[in-house]
Amino acid sequence: MVSPKPPWLKVRVPGGDTYTALKTTLRSLDLHTVCEEAHCPNVGECWNAGTATVMLLGDTCTRGCRFCAVTTGNPRGALDGREPEHVARALTRLGLRYVVLTMVDRDDLLDGGASHVARTVTRLRELCPTLLVETLLGDFAGHMDNVDTTVDVSPDVWAHNVEVVERLQRSVRDVRCSYERSLGVLQRVKSRAPSLVTKSSVMLGLGETDDEVLQTMKDLRGVGVDLLTLGQYLRPSAKHAEVVRYVEPSVFEGLAAEGKAMGFAFVAAGPLVRSSYKAAEVFVLGTRVK
């Protein structure tokens, strides 16, 4: 049995004028945010910093990964064709400086939702050209033409998460995901748009070894990933995978140093770091040193 949560995992209750205003506006615009759907511990900090992660293609994912709090089901092809316009117009009203557009997996759609994502990015660019846009996307079932559709609209950052080390893929991620496919998707993005900043994320605390984490980092650098986030897995509910260990902050610091030595433009590593944590800062710092 893993020990109780250590003190470094405690966070402040979300609050502040910016947080409250953003939450009110998001509710009034009927936008889904992964910040809330995934029970992110950093929602207050990120929203107060002017960064938010909006979830496209509804709030029901066709996959059932054992770490994720997002609802799993079969939307049966249901798609709101107005969403790209609605989301783009809504985001122009929020006063953000950086937005992450993420998605639920939609294996029920012929293109996995790629054209829907592309339309959203294109319209957002038209309405708010100064806003930095990161897309945090799925693997599109390995169909590279759909990956290309999302690359060709030129987001500032294109992200896809391998989530866990290779050995734990089958026990933690949905069976339709794979380590090799995730690396292949990231490699495809870099080969199609070499100057596009790519990003991935790994969760720790699910039973991996430090050596396995280092190998995962090497694999990600091997396919050209520029930005990396490493964070502690926290169990959303009793139905989800158990926490095997709480990783000391000093271990994260060491991994960040190793990542820098490997050639990542920037590594955000810490117990409370998430894939979209301080996304704007990661992007700015990462590209500054490239």
* Bridge partners of residue 203, in order along the sequence: 231
Is residue 234 within 8 A of residue 243, CB to CB? The reply is yes
Q: Which helix (H) or strand (E) element contains residue 153?
A: none
Radius of gyration of the chain (CA): 18
- Domain residue spans in the chain? 7-288
pLDDT of residue 47: 57
Q: Which CATH code fits 7-288?
A: 3.20.20.70
pLDDT of residue 230: 96
Q: 88-125 pLDDT, tens per residue? A: 988 888 878 888 999 999 999 999 999 999 999 999 99
**DSSP of 194-231, one letter per residue?**
TTSEEEEEEEE-SS--HHHHHHHHHHHHHTT--EEEEE
pLDDT of residue 94: 80
- Helices and strands (H and E) in the chain: how many: 11, 9
Residues 6+ apart with CB under 8 A from 141: 107, 112, 176
117 vs 113: CA distance, rounded Å: 6
Q: Which residues of the chain have pLDDT under 50?
A: 290
**161: DSSP letter:** -
pLDDT of residue 173: 97
Q: 132-154 pLDDT, tens per residue? A: 999 999 999 999 999 999 999 99
The pTM (predicted TM-score) of the whole model is 0.90
pLDDT of residue 14: 60
